[in-house]
Amino acid sequence: MRKLRLLAIWTAILVQHSANWRIVESLRRQPEGKKTEQRLLVNMTLLPRASSMAAVCLDGSPPAYHLHRGKGTGVSNWLLQFEGGGWCNNVLSCLQRSRTRRGSTRYMNRLEVFSGILSDDPINNPDFYNWNRVKLRYCDGASFAGDSNYSDGAFVLHFRGKRIWEAIINDLLPKGLINAQKRPKADHVQLDSLSQMLPDSTIVKCMSDAGFFLDVNDITGNDTIRTFFNSVVKLQGVENNLNKACLASHYFPSQCFFPQYNLPFIRNPFFILNSAYDTYQIGHIFVPPSADPTGHWSRCKSDLASCSPSQISILQGFRNEMLTALTTFESSRNEGMFINSCFAHCQSELQDSWYAENSPRIHNKTIAEAVGDWYFEREITKEVDCPYPCDHSCQNLISGLEPGII
Ligand SMILES: *[C@@H]1O[C@H](CO)[C@@H](O)[C@H](O)[C@H]1NC(C)=O
Ligand SMILES: *[C@@H]1O[C@H](CO)[C@@H](O)[C@H](O)[C@H]1NC(C)=O
Ligand SMILES: *[C@@H]1O[C@H](CO)[C@@H](O)[C@H](O)[C@H]1NC(C)=O
Ligand SMILES: *[C@@H]1O[C@H](CO)[C@@H](O)[C@H](O)[C@H]1NC(C)=O
């Protein structure tokens, strides 16, 4: 069974060495019939030696990534995709997670399908197909940001997301992530210094796919997600690793775990890809089970068509809050966004939503085209869809949400 991407907060960091800057001409998908369906499977690279830096998954297993090498004009460009998958905020939920593929490489498939933005086929991924593409596996429970541990004698939980990220970057450096001349002598690289080590001409841009988690009250007025993020930050020692400038300007450190507060302090250009009706956020943050004990929302959450008019209007309220939080980024030249009105969560790795005949579009632009236009500065790309149900390009596919994360 393929990995589900329904719980992801993942961010792809696109690193491009501008010496090889080329604008890859968009290739259109072949007419139906000529299409060849081939799955690219990429082997896992485990980092057993990372345990010497205490860079381990929740259960102590070694961290891992999957790398598919670039070629041709893309050979020195890198796309790093940080896998997402919710968070754990207390000892019990982290212990449970440590016994699943979300908290241990022991339970992960060794082979991952690379599709959508990870595809190596120019027909499916016109701008990034020949880059080095890396999927960094997520097994720490705090978005690669924690650094602490918990031990009660019977078991140990390792909250080492930040070290995992450093260990993987360290492993990738000699594989070409930076030019050999710039490689540091020390074998332990701090994340903060990564961009200093890259050649000055390197263009580093970031993209968040379904990662724009709103600081929003749930439908009962409870601040479920704030409370939740706060406990993640506390349990996993995340605070020290949050953006310092953000911390200095926000009273609650855990607010800097929310992109709407954190992004204004990020200097690299970024792209926000999100649905305004993000199924994960609606299911776990806006209408979490605790806010709907009678299950009044169950049918609506799994099928938009069965939402009542009053439920739809509550969902419009969620969209409005998201658009309000995004207004900060609307005026900036470097930032891009694609906020569609499809019922979806994570749209860049699924071929059907990234770039296909029937993919979702805004102003007739697919997500792949929007991201490429932004990255290569072909066009300022800030696409915001009209409200549900106007967009007929949506697939509104809802595969079951994984339970028990919030
Ligand atoms: C994946 O890597 C492992 C360990 O290096 C190797 O034994 C295995 O044959 C590889 N599998 C594929 C399909 O390449
Ligand atoms: C937990 O963290 C402390 C402080 O970093 C360290 O000294 C200790 O060895 C760690 N324990 C385990 C089991 O990793
Ligand atoms: C509010 O949210 C918190 C965190 O999810 C939860 O523990 C609490 O029970 C909720 N309170 C109410 C009244 O729903
Ligand atoms: C939308 O784009 C496709 C190509 O992706 C093109 O064939 C079609 O004519 C465009 N439709 C409109 C209405 O512009």
Quickly tell me which residue has 């979702």 as its tokens: 360
Choose which residue among 148, 149, 158, 160 to substitute to test ligand 2 binding: the one with the highest number of ligand atoms within 8 A of its C-beta.
Answer: 149
Residue 333 dihedral angles phi and psi, to the nearest 5°: -70, -35
Determine if the peptide bond prior to 389 is cis (ω within 30°). yes
Per-residue confidence (pLDDT) for residue 387, from 0 to 100: 96
Per-residue confidence (pLDDT) for residue 405, from 0 to 100: 40
Determine how many CB atoms are found less than 10 A away from the CB of residue 143: 25
Alpha helices (runs of H) in 126-208, residue ranges in sequence order: 161-172, 194-197
Atom of ligand 3 nearest to the CA of 222: 1
| Cα–Cα distance for residue pair 83/136, rounded to 1 Å | 6
Per-residue confidence (pLDDT) for residue 233, from 0 to 100: 96
Per-residue pLDDT tens digits for 188-246:
444 455 666 666 667 788 899 999 999 999 999 999 999 999 999 999 999 998 888 99
Q: Is the pLDDT at 401 greater than 50, yes or no?
A: no
DSSP at 237:
T
Confidence of residue 37 (pLDDT cuts 50, 70, 90): low
Angle at 375 between CA 348 and CA 165, to 5 degrees: 65
Is the beta carbon of 223 within 6 A of some atom in ligand 3? no
Q: Residue 103 C-alpha to ligand 2 middle, in angstroms?
A: 18
Q: Is the pLDDT at 52 greater than 50, yes or no?
A: yes
Q: Residue 364 C-alpha to ligand 4 middle, in angstroms?
A: 6
Per-residue pLDDT tens digits for 69-127:
999 988 888 899 999 889 999 999 999 999 999 999 999 999 999 999 999 999 999 99
Q: What is the pTM of this model?
A: 0.88
